[in-house]
Structure formats: structure tokens, C-alpha cells
């Protein structure tokens, strides 16, 4: 069964850190681009970052560049999002997503409804 399961969300003060985890199962992890999207209340779902596990190449949206780091542990079929210096605007439900038909360059601009495999999300709430 194809599945992505996110974990690691929670409540954190502005300036703090969290690490999100995405566990993939039921598919060939290395054949996919794996990404993180987020959706804040009242806003559209937007890309955050993505990674190609086979070569480790990554992409980030400007708003998180320098603060967030995406990584993978291919032996464990895991992808992580280390989030540092969190801001109130980072508050959102964060979703892990996997797709074979995109690259790390195209995933961020691809409408989320076209992407292949989604987790159920984990809530990150940044307090001020």
C-alpha cells in the first residue's frame, strides 16, 4: 500500500525549531521527488521544499531558504524537514508529497491537486 505518514509537528515559540519526518512505504522511494507543502488557515496550499533522494538535489522556496533544510535517509525511506528560526507565518499544516512526474524544479509550481501521493499532514503552530 502506497503511504506517506508525517510526524513531528507541534507548538513552538517564534525563533524555535522543529523537525518534521515523512515515512514512505509501498513504493520505490528513490524513483520519486519528495516534497513538503503547507497550508495555512485561509490560504492556498503552497510548496516549501523538495528533494530527489537518488542524488540529494534540493529546492526551496525563498521564504524558507536559509531556515529550513530538507534531507532524506534513503535506507529508511524517510524524508525530513528541519525548520529553524520559525516565524508566525510558518504556522500551517505541513504535508509530505511524492510524485514521479515532476522534478525538483517543477514540483513547487505544480498545482497540488496534480501531485501523486499525499500524507495526511502534521500541524505546526508558531506562537508569538
Q: What is the pLDDT of residues 43-62, one digit of tens each?
A: 999 999 999 999 999 999 99
Pseudo-torsion of CA 58, 85, 98, 112, nearest 10°? -110
Instruction: Give the model confidence (pLDDT) of 57-84 as tens digits.
Output: 999 999 999 999 999 999 999 999 999 9
Neighbours of 44 (CB within 10 A): 9
Burial grade of 113 (CB within 10 A; 0-12, 13-18, 19 or more): exposed
Amino acid at each position: 500500500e502506497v503511504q506517506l505518514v508525517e510526524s513531528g509537528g507541534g507548538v513552538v515559540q517564534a525563533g524555535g525549531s522543529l523537525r518534521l519526518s515523512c515515512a514512505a512505504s509501498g513504493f520505490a522511494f528513490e524513483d520519486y521527488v519528495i516534497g513538503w507543502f503547507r497550508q495555512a488557515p485561509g490560504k492556498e496550499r503552497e510548496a516549501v521544499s523538495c528533494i530527489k533522494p537518488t542524488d540529494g538535489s534540493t529546492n526551496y522556496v525563498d521564504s524558507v531558504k536559509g531556515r529550513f533544510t530538507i534531507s532524506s535517509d534513503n535506507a529508511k525511506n524517510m524524508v525530513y524537514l528541519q525548520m529553524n528560526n520559525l516565524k508566525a507565518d510558518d504556522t500551517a499544516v505541513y504535508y509530505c508529497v511524492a510524485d514521479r512526474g515532476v522534478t525538483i524544479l517543477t514540483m513547487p509550481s505544480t498545482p497540488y491537486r496534480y501531485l501523486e501521493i499525499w500524507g495526511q499532514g502534521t500541524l505546526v503552530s508558531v506562537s508569538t
